[in-house]
Homo-oligomer: A and B are copies of this chain.
Amino acid sequence: MTAADLVTIDGSIFVGAERRHHGPTFRAVNPATGASIGPDVSEADAGDVADACALAAAAAEPFGTLPPESRARFIEASAEAILAIGNGLVETAMAETGLPRGRLDGERMRTVNQLRMFAAEVRAGHWLDATIDPALPERAPPRPDIRRMNVPVGPVAVFGASNFPLAFSVAGGDTASAFAAGCPVVVKGHPAHPGTGELVARAIRAAVATRGLPAGVFSFLPGRSNDLGAALVADPQINAVGFTGSRRGGLALVEIARHRAEPIPVYAEMSSINPVVLLPGALAARAEALGPAFAASLTLGAGQFCTNPGVVIAVDGPDLDRFIVAAEQALAGAEPAVMLTAGILESYDRGVAELDRHGSVRRIASGKPGERRLCSAALFETTADRFLADRALGEEVFGAAAIIVRCRDANDLVQVVTALEGQLTATLHMDGADHGFAAKLLPLLRGRAGRVLANGWPTGVEVTAAMVHGGPFPATSDPRSTSVGTLAMMRFVRPVSYQDIPDPLLPPALQEGNPWRIPRRIEGTWERPA
């Protein structure tokens, strides 16, 4: 492997170290121009899936039992290799996604720092949850020696998202957290950014080679067909699935996973309208500032964030009117934008047109009109009664469209919040005077969302230990998990107990001498080596 290998895009499938090219092929499309770009990309087929999964299964034991330091170094090497691709990575992603340079520069660093964060988390060793209850030979009956730790589940299938071609794609949060947990990864490459995907795949492949790991630790299977994804989830060697995308797509994978001989968990991050509640005190104090801030969050990245604020809920009155006027004015200046793919733009336009035709909502503001291939923002309003009467109004329109729900009073507002489906985020804008009402709403919002925030906007997801990017159905298929932050790696482990296993045969994490020097809970007390 040479430096040139790292910056080549030739439409490869990577089955472990092996590069494959075969028909059929497809090409990337620049969504700003509609032009095909890049080379012919080979579409992976069922044979590639089977081979990649078999290699992954063979790599599972050696990779899954690496000492934390070795696995951390591999993850860091992946981060370094992504940086080593250089500027071509961002330029390829710009051409394939229509996202601007600043955003992609930031996303590249987020991706790299996320990998480094997981490397640090692997080293820290908390994730092993090593727990030891020593034998009590004097007890009647004698208690055996019991030791528990988390072990990797085995090969994981990752489906990248179109809207984060770096941070939620080939080396994104799902891959990084699966590697951290000790699981080989087979990526189904997103067809909207195949060149970007291939570059990142080459970087991980280089890190696998540099660190001397089994080639099956990582494979990259680009393709457009649903059959490819279905074959991957159905492969008996796959033990868990990470997915970010549409509700329809996520639920289809959940169904396939359920019907396997051995069902497996699918962690699908799917659909969220991210309610924003404007409480009376906040509206009275700063309606004119909240309006443009909302418009900015709504239109950020053409509204293509999972955490885009799609519904604003407030008690009706002059303060809400002031907010709406301010939001309208801000939106009127919002430039039309390129969306990620022609298909996403078409869905967005269709969703907005349905709202325009819907008898229960009224369009109240729009972004600057866009030409062909561009979207423009759309803001609607309705009443609480109407919103409650039609659940379709609570469904996500992916893009810069939102609905303001005018509530008669606080009770009305509580009803709307109570009726919401599961969400990634729920936001409260409040002043000191609102704390009483907020205290009543917070338990409801906590019950409906993975993250509750105050006086901010839901777009922007910090990658930290405390982050939850998840939430009740249909925000995700598994509300016990997050797809962002260090907790994400816990999706890919399961606990195992060892009883009376002779010390030399125990995994190092559980051996009496604690050779990995990790924190362990012994007879109820956490012990941390100096």
Is A482 part of the contact surface with B, judged by Cβ < 8 Å? yes
Minimum Cβ distance to chain B for residue A184 (Å) = 14
Asked whether, in the complex, the Cβ of B502 is within 8 Å of the Cβ of A447, the reply is no
Minimum Cβ distance to chain B for residue A182 (Å) = 12
CA distance in complex: A465, B134 (Å): 11
Question: Using a CB-CB cutoff of 8 Å, which residues 421-468 of chain A contact chain B?
Answer: 421-422, 430, 435, 438-439, 442-443, 446-447, 449-456, 460, 462, 464-468
Residues of B within 8 Å of A147, CB to CB, are: 466
Asked whether, in the complex, the Cβ of B505 is within 8 Å of the Cβ of A462, the reply is no
Residues of B within 8 Å of A430, CB to CB, are: 502
Residues of B within 8 Å of A438, CB to CB, are: 505
- The residue in chain B whose Cβ has the minimal distance to the Cβ of A141 is B460
Question: Using a CB-CB cutoff of 8 Å, which residues 467-507 of chain A contact chain B?
Answer: 467-468, 470, 472-474, 477-482, 487, 493-502, 504-505
Residues of B within 8 Å of A143, CB to CB, are: 462, 464
Asked whether, in the complex, the Cβ of B502 is within 8 Å of the Cβ of A454, the reply is yes
Asked whether, in the complex, the Cβ of B495 is within 8 Å of the Cβ of A465, the reply is no
Asked whether, in the complex, the Cβ of A472 is within 8 Å of the Cβ of B262, the reply is yes
- The residue in chain B whose Cβ has the minimal distance to the Cβ of A449 is B496
Asked whether, in the complex, the Cβ of B435 is within 8 Å of the Cβ of A502, the reply is yes
Question: Using a CB-CB cutoff of 8 Å, which residues 386-407 of chain A contact chain B?
Answer: none
Question: Using a CB-CB cutoff of 8 Å, which residues 125-173 of chain A contact chain B?
Answer: 126, 131-133, 141, 143-144, 146-148, 151, 153-154
- The residue in chain B whose Cβ has the minimal distance to the Cβ of A495 is B468
CA distance in complex: A495, B528 (Å): 25
Asked whether, in the complex, the Cβ of B499 is within 8 Å of the Cβ of A456, the reply is yes
CA distance in complex: A26, B372 (Å): 71
Is A214 part of the contact surface with B, judged by Cβ < 8 Å? no
Asked whether, in the complex, the Cβ of B466 is within 8 Å of the Cβ of A146, the reply is yes
CA distance in complex: A394, B478 (Å): 31
Asked whether, in the complex, the Cβ of B462 is within 8 Å of the Cβ of A144, the reply is yes
- The residue in chain B whose Cβ has the minimal distance to the Cβ of A134 is B466
Asked whether, in the complex, the Cβ of B132 is within 8 Å of the Cβ of A466, the reply is yes
CA distance in complex: A470, B502 (Å): 22
Contact of A453 among B449, B498, B524 (CB under 8 A): B498
Is A258 part of the contact surface with B, judged by Cβ < 8 Å? yes
Contact of A262 among B422, B480, B497, B502 (CB under 8 A): B422
Is A209 part of the contact surface with B, judged by Cβ < 8 Å? no
Question: Using a CB-CB cutoff of 8 Å, which residues 2-52 of chain A contact chain B?
Answer: none
- The residue in chain B whose Cβ has the minimal distance to the Cβ of A472 is B262
CA distance in complex: A144, B499 (Å): 44
Is A67 part of the contact surface with B, judged by Cβ < 8 Å? no
Minimum Cβ distance to chain B for residue A494 (Å) = 5
Is A336 part of the contact surface with B, judged by Cβ < 8 Å? no
Asked whether, in the complex, the Cβ of B453 is within 8 Å of the Cβ of A144, the reply is yes
Is A265 part of the contact surface with B, judged by Cβ < 8 Å? yes
Contact of A501 among B154, B449, B452, B479 (CB under 8 A): B452
Question: Using a CB-CB cutoff of 8 Å, which residues 241-293 of chain A contact chain B?
Answer: 258, 262-263, 265
Is A124 part of the contact surface with B, judged by Cβ < 8 Å? yes
Asked whether, in the complex, the Cβ of A453 is within 8 Å of the Cβ of B500, the reply is yes
Minimum Cβ distance to chain B for residue A388 (Å) = 16
Minimum Cβ distance to chain B for residue A283 (Å) = 17
Is A373 part of the contact surface with B, judged by Cβ < 8 Å? no
Contact of A450 among B141, B496, B526 (CB under 8 A): B496
Is A409 part of the contact surface with B, judged by Cβ < 8 Å? no
Minimum Cβ distance to chain B for residue A404 (Å) = 23
Asked whether, in the complex, the Cβ of A466 is within 8 Å of the Cβ of B144, the reply is no
The 3 closest A-B pairs by CB, nearest first: A453-B499, A468-B497, A148-B466
Other A-B contacts than A451-B498, A480-B495, 4 sampled, CB-CB below 8 A, are: A133-B466, A450-B496, A456-B500, A479-B494
* Residue contacts A-B, CB under 8 angstroms, 24 given: A126-B526, A131-B465, A131-B466, A133-B462, A133-B464, A143-B462, A147-B466, A148-B466, A262-B421, A262-B422, A262-B473, A265-B480, A435-B505, A449-B496, A451-B497, A452-B496, A452-B497, A453-B498, A453-B501, A456-B500, A465-B521, A480-B493, A480-B494, A482-B495
